[in-house]
Amino acid sequence: MDDRPSQERVTTIERLLDEVESLPDAKSRELATDLVAELLELYGDGLSRVMALAGEPRANGLARELAEDELVSHLLLVHGLHPVPIEERVQGALDEVRPYLDSHGGDVELLEIDGTVARLRMEGSCSGCPSSTMTLKLAIEQAIAKAAPEIESVEADGVTPEPPAPALLQIENAGGASGAGSNRSTGPGGEWTEAGAVPADAAERGVLIEASGQAVLICRVDDVPYAYRPVCAVCEGSLEGAPLDNGELACPGCEERFDARRAGRCLDSPQLHLEPIPLLTGEDGEIRLALGAGAIA
């Protein structure tokens, strides 16, 4: 189901609410705010009855089907009616990104949900790849934010300290400062961008696509797609059309080889690597990209 009209409607509602807050007349602001609150209560009562009629979610009936719809799930969360426990939703989010983590030599385990804090243990990493932990954090953060927006912060054990990440990355090492205190991203990489199907020839060469005005290199190894910034880490030339053989991308210019399955690490100079872009594959085969981590404008 295409959720773009709903997303556009949400954006319009947020804009209108901002305009209400900026009304110069206090009585008008209060009246408009009260009206919105009453409408929310009314729709909340209606949704509560719908969920009661739908039955138990564990019976895999209508309640679970409703909760799996993105728009309905959001409304259920707003009214505190989501039938799937938060632990199950967070675990499902981690399962969704686990193939991506595995492609970078990592994994993640949910330790506990403590109020609005999710505590994780991250395992493995791409040693010598400074962008690896950053991209893993972003992928995890985005998945949890979508599945369980009531989670306000994420703490991760087992993360190798790195230079400070951009502001939109808000997963912190356990025991460290919490920074912004919320797992919601507001920067340009704060949302996953739909990028269509994987190009048919991506198993043979790096294929350049455009997503939200940004150039992205897509390749596919053993039916698993990968996305990178399309610039060679050695000669800085374009990787468009780079031959792909046994998971190795060869730069058309300098012929340096990069391991597509291991965060783009250079096989001849391991201290060098391509810049990976978090990628998720939907059930329909369409891919989504977190363009805030590595893609060029």
Count of beta carbons in the 10 Å neighbourhood of residue 282: 11
Q: Contact, 122 vs 136, CB < 8 A?
A: yes
> Are 99 and 69 within one domain?
no
> Are 160 and 247 within one domain?
no
> Are 216 and 250 within one domain?
yes
Is 42 a domain residue?
A: yes
Q: What is the average pLDDT across 219-239?
A: 91
Q: Which of 20-24, 68-72, 165-169 has the highest mean pLDDT?
A: 20-24
> Are 198 and 168 within one domain?
no
> Are 206 and 281 within one domain?
yes
pLDDT tens digits along 236-271 = 999 999 999 999 999 999 999 998 887 788 888 877
Count of beta carbons in the 10 Å neighbourhood of residue 103: 19
Is 297 a domain residue?
A: no
> Are 125 and 42 within one domain?
no
Is 106 a domain residue?
A: yes
Q: Contact, 277 vs 193, CB < 8 A?
A: no
Domain count, the chain: 3
> Are 227 and 271 within one domain?
yes
pLDDT tens digits along 182-211 = 333 333 334 678 888 999 999 999 999 998
Is 295 a domain residue?
A: no
Q: Contact, 290 vs 213, CB < 8 A?
A: no
Which run of H or of E encompasses 47? helix 26-54
- Give the DSSP letter of residue 246: T
Name the residue with tokens 């010598």. Answer: 128
Domain with 20 in it: 4-78
What SS3 state is found at 173? Answer: strand
Of the chain, the percentage scoring pLDDT greater than 90 comes to 16
pLDDT of residue 135: 62
pTM comes to 0.46
For residue 96, what are the contacts with CB-CB under 8 A and spacing of at least 6? 143, 147, 280
Q: Is the pLDDT of residue 88 over 50?
A: yes
Residue 211 has φ and ψ, to the nearest 5°, of: -135, 115
Is 184 a domain residue?
A: no
Is 122 a domain residue?
A: yes
Q: Cα dist. 63→22, 49, 83, 85, 189 in Å?
A: 39, 11, 7, 13, 32
Confidence bin at 152 (pLDDT 50/70/90): confident
Is 143 a domain residue?
A: yes
| Tokens, residue 248 | 């190795």
Is 183 a domain residue?
A: no
d(CA 183, CA 185): 6
d(CA 242, CA 55): 53
